[in-house]
Chains A and B, each alone.
Chain A
Amino acid sequence: MSAVYGGASLLLLIVSVGFCVSIGSAGLSVSDVWGILLHEATGISIGGPWPSSDVAIVIQLRLSRVVLALLVGACLAAAGAGFQGVLRNPLADPYTLGVASGSSVGAAFIILFGFQSLIGLWTIPIVAFATGAATLFAVFALARSKGVMAIETLILAGVIVQSFFGAFVSFMVSMSQGVVNQILYWLMGSLALRSWDHTYMLLPFALIGIPIMIYHSHRLNLFAYGERHAAHLGVHVERTKLIVLVGATLLTAAAVSVSGVIGFVGLVVPHLLRLLVGSDYRRLVPLSAIGGGIFVLWADTLARTALSPREIQLGVVTAIIGAPFFALLLYRHKSGRGGIKT
């Protein structure tokens, strides 16, 4: 069964990449795009030669953007599945918990005031992680009452923190030399004008964070029965919780560092997959990473082509899909129909 799901999702991934890399506003034909890709990958020329501007469009713009979309989506969806599992909260994701906004404060501060190279290439994600983790801590403190965190209260705390930090980021942009457009970028995320450098910045975090989530996925299954019961069955609860929360925050911070805040990916993708493959986190976490990549890739393709040559913010696309979905989850949770539970 798992092999079937894995195979199907990889196939969908390949088809999606093939499709999304082929369309765009530059007016290149599909055969040109694939000719260039084949030539760049293997040196074999079918057709061509192509002008170097076309090669640059395919490799530097489209392919890099496709790869970045996959990575951002994978990070956010894996983080979402992790948050949902360890907090036993079906409404939790990097966006609704406020962690994405918290991370954006750190990242925006570093970028807007020019401290990018303070501690090397990974300055932005590391600072974003610090502010993201502090945010998560603050949200927990706000939501916890007598050692218990109610599902809706946690999300309410997340929303409060999120709107505060959103305003704070907007304020920082206004104070800096940046253009007002940048506010939109930080609040509603985008993959426009990114380069391979951003991919290199994100890649190590994805390669560390996602395997951490997968490694702990079996334990998340036991968390569903309550922390105490998980401990009775042999799970080192406090350690697992800390690692998964840190890992999910790290993935969120790294994604936000390159793309701004893109909402609901970590909510929509794991829940859709639950409907398809069930609640076993051993399937859910890896498939969420793949599915998140596909989801953001399509959302971004829509964002850059729907009103071409103008771009829609990527976060606008994911929110238009995600917010009604979130409402549905809330409704189901409240009416206790139990269609989707963690």
Chain B
Amino acid sequence: MIEEQSIVKVGMADLNIIRHSGVIRTLGLGSCVGVTLYDPELKLAGMAHIMLPSSEIAREGQLNIAKYADTALPALMDKLLALGASPSRIVAKMAGGSQMFAFAGSGDTMRIGPRNVESSKLILMELRVPLLAEDTGGNYGRTIELDCSTGILSIRSVLMGVKEM
């Protein structure tokens, strides 16, 4: 018997959660960072596709909290806690944050990938969530998928194939 696997998709500047079984996935991370939070005991997983490091630079009226590292991660954490996750069990994994285009351009937008990674790490530290594994940096895109039943994060890229961690 093949059990149909549920797939939860996370778009750009989006976050979502999955419970019990199935995978949660986001496609084509470039300078964006995908962060997963996971409670192994409850088999409860959340994923955020973060686009920008800090909501301080936001100029939008209605803030999309999933877009910024400093708002997305606390919100994702809250979602997990609301479903009964224990703060002491939650662990994080992270991928993305690459620098897609390599030339000496103007200012900070060129370093947006590394800045997304730095900011996400800082927020995880503030939330006291240990970062178990990361696959960040480089100059290529990644698609990531977290298996909710095992907590294994698989990372697919055009050049490097599939990697699990």
The finding on whether chains A and B are genuine partners in a shared complex, rather than unrelated, reads no
